[in-house]
Structure 1
Amino acid sequence: MVRNLLVILLLCSLLIVTGCWNRRELNELAIAVGMGIDKQGKQFKVSMQVVVPSEIAAKKGQGTTPVVLYSAVGDSVFEAIRKMTTESPRKIYISHLRILLLGDELARDGIGKSLEFLTRDSEARSDFYIAVSKESKAEDVLKVLTTLDSIPANMLFNALETSQKEWAPTTSVTLDELISVLTSESRNPVLTGILVHGDPNEGGSSDSVKNVKTPVRLQYSTLAVFRKDKLIGWLNEKESKAYNYIMDKVQSTAAVIPCPSGGNVTLEVIRTKTKVKGKVIHKKPRIDINIRGEVNVDEVGCHIDLTKQRTISQVERLAEQRVEDIINELIHTVKQKYKVDIFGFGQVIRRSNPTAWKELRRDWERHFMDLEVNVKVHASIRQLGTVGNSFLDRIKE
């Protein structure tokens, strides 16, 4: 009797239990990996780089390009994406987005409205990177096919990570990080720029990636400076690297140091640690930046004796002065040319002295212009390489 009752209850439960009501079948979706947003008049032009599954699957390709680009124009980003269904046989799916590119013109007009959809849409994740297409449209960047990685959006994602880790003038920014800075009362955002070398229309042909030297290339550039959500200018390479030193984002890079007697020594920065502290003295804010770095000697192009501790200490001092100089030059440039706090110094002051910040926050841009910033760098050489002094010293002319 009890067993029969249990069977009846189980059968009844099947009537009210449903499957995955919002499931998405792979063959019903167009997987977007790259997204570009450009300004077109008062509207948005959205471009989507979509994977072609048959070309990605092993040994099943038909010789066509591994991605396809869809574009549409709308009064909003979401409207433009939905309009793409007039061309795409499948609904665009953005959960696997790797890179978001913002066009140069759009960035100068303001990026806030174009990001609102991505913060609200339930299908959008926030772990993709965001960059600005420098001197070009975002659509043009997404047109270009790449070698090494057949999916261009994946190449852009990986190249940005690699350049930040190994070179340092670029920085990877996710959607959450960008929104956090945009809504901050004392900090303004920066984004990495990307350049198209060559004709982007030619770069969309599969023939362009069959050459040893491809005629069209994508290259990450320097950092774009924003006032709130509007692009106002660009840092150069040296300034971009100095920015990452301040923000404690330099993991590794190369530094060329001039020797006192002429020539250069090239150092490999293997690790750094930056501490930024703030204080308010007699109602005047002050920032202290302390950087500790470890370096290896990679190239010696001058006559120095690395067997002597005095020479090693001299090279360390030169390296310290070099980093201090580029950081001081950057801070001066940002104060005088852009007049915006891209470093988050205001946030440092707020954390150190909340009471004083209540007064300073009312006119932080003016206080930022007069802000005293002290930079101190300490460098330590860890390795001199596999040889002592350079063989160049033994070459007789």
Structure 2
Amino acid sequence: MIAYVYRLATLLTCLFLLTSCWSSKELNEIAIATAIGIDKSDEGYLLTVQIINPGEIASDSPTNRTATTTYRSSGETLFEAFRRLTVQAPRKVYFSHVQIVVFGEEAAKSGIVQPLDFLSRDHEMRTDFFLVIAKDTLADQLLNILTPMDKISSNKIVSSFYMSERNWAPTHTVKLDELMYKLSTDGNEAVLTGIFIKGNTELGKDSRSLEKTEPPTTVQIDHIGVFKNDKLVGWFNEDESKGFNYFTDNVTSTIVNVPCSNSSTGIEVIRTITSLKANLENNTPHIDANVRVDGNIGDVECDIDITNPQTIRKFEAMVEKDIQSKMESAVSASQDKFNSDILGFGALIHREHPDQWRMLKNHWNEEFKNVEVDYTIHATIQRTGNITDSVQRKDGE
């Protein structure tokens, strides 16, 4: 009898631990959202949601229908705008597969904290989506542009972000957790990368534009947008954006062009390691930036002997100079143009010198402008490629 009761109790305990499908929904009951656009409107917010047309994605037979449909609604709050989608969308919109959230530039300039509250609070939203800014346009316009190599434009944007960040370096992918951390941490300001529409916006909405080998409209990745508190205050150019990524140890690979005779040589950066250290001299903050760079020669367009070790060392010195110049431009723009500590100097001082930070915190805006940076950059060129000399060098030279 005791053994029977024991087995029954064990069975009942296991039953209580089993999960059920109380919240399950069939695919034909939901509309899967892949992208969200947030703009300012007279009512408060203009919300644009890109929905997948599953029949077009799964079908092997091409039709005239697009792979996605966009719905839009307005509301005094973002939550209200989301609920108003129900009067248009034929199914409940499912947000767990959202890949990207796009802020219109005007919405970013007016502040992003309030919409971020909803995005981080809603239980259906995951935190692994990217956040970007639609530069010089509305998010609504950008999400309606059709892309030629991918049926779903949000997939194209995400792929372009990955490729640009890993191979060119003037962009920076930001997910919700990182953005919330930057906005809530003392001595740190946020950044978001921009995307823009190149070409005719109206033609880009027409599926016939995809029938051309050179589409009249494309969506392209831009440079880094600088925030002060939660408001967009301006844009870095390409060199400043690359300098920012060198500071934040976010350069995986890029190209550095160095001059030689009447042309240039392309150095492929294949690896960088950046370390920052904060020092306080008479309560004046200094930052020591140490960057180690590994690279290969990728392109020689001048008559020069690359088998000569002195030539290699000369190239290494020019790479070091180029990287320092870009980092200096990022510091100058952050301090003088925007007065925004996107480089995280304040947070670095907070971690390494918490007692001194308490004295600097309340007037960090003024102190940040005067922070000096000392650079130590060491570049090493490891390989010269499959050939050991320039094709422009004549035989016998």
For the superposition of Structure 1 and Structure 2, which TM-score range results when normalised by the shorter chain? over 0.9
Does structure 1 residue 83 correspond to structure 2 residue 75? no
TM-score, reference length from structure 2: 0.94
Deviations 1:237-288 (A, max 9, x none): 11101110100000001111122x3321111111110001111122111100
Does structure 1 residue 29 correspond to structure 2 residue 26? no
Work out whether residues 193 and 220 of structure 1, in 8 Å CA contact, stay in contact via their aligned partners in 2.
Answer: yes
Deviations 1:62-120 (A, max 9, x none): 43100000000111112112211211100111100001000011011111111111110
Structure 1 residue 19: Cα displacement: 4.2
SS of the residue 1:394 aligns to: coil
Aligned counterpart, 1:355: 355
Work out whether residues 306 and 312 of structure 2, in 8 Å CA contact, stay in contact via their aligned partners in 1.
Answer: yes
Structure 1 residue 389: Cα displacement: 2.3
Does structure 1 residue 392 correspond to structure 2 residue 392? yes
Which amino acid in the other structure matches residue 304 of structure 1?
A: I
Aligned counterpart, 1:329: 329
Equivalents in 2 of 1:239, 1:337: separation in Å? 12
Aligned counterpart, 1:131: 132
Work out whether residues 54 and 61 of structure 1, in 8 Å CA contact, stay in contact via their aligned partners in 2.
Answer: no
* Residue segments in structure 2 that go unaligned for 5+ positions in a row: none
TM-score, reference length from structure 1: 0.94
Work out whether residues 223 and 234 of structure 1, in 8 Å CA contact, stay in contact via their aligned partners in 2.
Answer: yes
**CA distance 1:19–1:247, change in 2 (3 Å):** closer
- The percentage of aligned residue pairs carrying the same residue is 37
Which amino acid in the other structure matches residue 360 of structure 2?
A: L
Equivalents in 2 of 1:202, 1:86: separation in Å? 28
SS of the residue 2:367 aligns to: helix
Deviations 1:15-57 (A, max 9, x none): xx99422212211111000110000125100000000010011
Equivalents in 1 of 2:155, 2:311: separation in Å? 45
* Residue segments in structure 1 that go unaligned for 5+ positions in a row: none
Size of the alignment, in residue pairs? 393
Structure 1 runs, 4 residues or longer, greater than 4 Å off? 1-7
1:363-382 correspondence runs (5 A): 363-382=363-382
Aligned counterpart, 2:264: 264
Work out whether residues 70 and 87 of structure 1, in 8 Å CA contact, stay in contact via their aligned partners in 2.
Answer: yes
Equivalents in 2 of 1:83, 1:42: separation in Å? 13
Structure 1 residue 58: Cα displacement: 3.6
Equivalents in 2 of 1:350, 1:2: separation in Å? 62
Which amino acid in the other structure matches residue 82 of structure 1?
A: R
Equivalents in 1 of 2:3, 2:296: separation in Å? 76
RMSD: 2.4
Does structure 1 residue 230 correspond to structure 2 residue 231? yes
Which amino acid in the other structure matches residue 275 of structure 2?
A: K
Aligned counterpart, 1:156: 157
Aligned counterpart, 1:278: 278
Equivalents in 2 of 1:388, 1:4: separation in Å? 82
Aligned counterpart, 1:294: 294
Equivalents in 1 of 2:262, 2:133: separation in Å? 39
Work out whether residues 132 and 195 of structure 2, in 8 Å CA contact, stay in contact via their aligned partners in 1.
Answer: yes
Structure 1 residue 2: Cα displacement: 11
Work out whether residues 266 and 299 of structure 2, in 8 Å CA contact, stay in contact via their aligned partners in 1.
Answer: yes
Aligned counterpart, 1:178: 179
SS of the residue 2:376 aligns to: strand
Work out whether residues 101 and 132 of structure 1, in 8 Å CA contact, stay in contact via their aligned partners in 2.
Answer: yes
Aligned counterpart, 2:120: 119
Work out whether residues 54 and 62 of structure 1, in 8 Å CA contact, stay in contact via their aligned partners in 2.
Answer: no
Work out whether residues 236 and 333 of structure 2, in 8 Å CA contact, stay in contact via their aligned partners in 1.
Answer: no
Aligned counterpart, 1:208: 209
Structure 1 residue 60: Cα displacement: 5.5
Aligned counterpart, 2:65: 64
Structure 1 residue 333: Cα displacement: 2.1
Aligned counterpart, 1:306: 306
Comparing 177-186 with 382-391, greater Cα deviation is found at: 382-391
SS of the residue 1:393 aligns to: coil
Which amino acid in the other structure matches residue 224 of structure 1?
A: G
Equivalents in 2 of 1:325, 1:387: separation in Å? 30
Work out whether residues 209 and 216 of structure 2, in 8 Å CA contact, stay in contact via their aligned partners in 1.
Answer: yes
Which amino acid in the other structure matches residue 325 of structure 2?
A: D
Which amino acid in the other structure matches residue 334 of structure 2?
A: V
Work out whether residues 45 and 72 of structure 1, in 8 Å CA contact, stay in contact via their aligned partners in 2.
Answer: yes
Work out whether residues 43 and 74 of structure 2, in 8 Å CA contact, stay in contact via their aligned partners in 1.
Answer: no
Aligned counterpart, 2:320: 320
Structure 1 residue 4: Cα displacement: 11
Work out whether residues 209 and 215 of structure 2, in 8 Å CA contact, stay in contact via their aligned partners in 1.
Answer: yes
SS of the residue 2:119 aligns to: helix
